[in-house]
Amino acid sequence: MHKTIDDQTAEEWDRLMAVNLRGPFLMAKYVVPEMRRQGGGTIVNIGSVEGFMVNPWHSAYAASKAGIHGLTLALSVDLGPDSIRCNTVCPGWIDTDLNRAYVEMHPDRALIERELGQLHPVGRIGAPKEIANAVLWLASDDSSFVSGEMISVDGARTKKISLPAILDEEYRAKLTKVQA
């Protein structure tokens, strides 16, 4: 949903919260009793880097993903004594049908693909398999001491401070001389 808060209806807000936050809540609510009976388990939620940082016009989406982070933290604390771990995988820009549709709407697809790749310091967008591998690791015994974590699978996107385009290489060279 690409709207500012004052352009959203309460119904639009509620729908996004129902899909992105109520869904994980209900999944946990109904799976936890069985996990307790089995002596433990693992919950892996799917969040987003937008739980940490926000794109313009994404207030409802970002709030829903930040809510998943809070739910993950609470579940990890509440369910840890029952040997139930809870973590969240937070994808960056991933090559999905939905994201491809955004690219295809842009008049200069090559430009937008290049720009999206440059959001990530690794220089490309991610693949669905990379998200799946993170989920598999978190669900495995190899991560048995990992709980309450939001794991960014984003090619370091959330670690990079973006500077305006005006700060190009020529400007950087001048700064380097001044600082020397």
Q: What letter does residue 94 receive in the DSSP assignment? A: B
Question: Span 30-55, mean pLDDT?
Answer: 95
Rounded Cα gap, residues 73 and 68, in angstroms: 9
Among residues 30, 61, 102, 171, the one annotated as catalytic is: 61
Sketch out the chain's domains with CATH numbers: 5-179 (3.40.50.720)
30 is annotated as an active-site residue: no
Dist CA 153 CA 92 (whole Å): 6
pLDDT at 3: 85
Q: Which of 113, 97, 94 is nearest to 47 (CA)?
A: 94
pLDDT digits (tens, 9 = 90+) for 93-150: 999 898 888 788 888 888 888 888 888 889 999 999 999 999 999 999 999 999 999 9
Q: Would you call 72 helix, strand, or coil by DSSP?
A: helix
Q: What is the pLDDT of residue 168?
A: 63
The pLDDT of residue 167 is above 70: no
pLDDT of residue 35: 99
Nearest Cα neighbor of 78 from 23, 32, 30 is 32
- Whole-number pLDDT of residue 62: 93
- pLDDT for 173 beyond 90: no
pTM, entire model: 0.86
| pLDDT given for residue 116 in this prediction | 84
CA-based end-to-end distance of the chain: 47
pLDDT of residue 38: 98
Is the sign of the CA dihedral 121, 134, 81, 64 positive or negative?
positive
Q: Judge whether residue 16 has pLDDT over 70.
A: yes
Q: Look at residue 23 and tell me whether its pLDDT is greater than 90.
A: yes
Question: Model confidence over 51-102: pLDDT tens digits?
Answer: 988 888 889 999 999 999 999 999 999 999 999 999 999 999 999 898 888 7
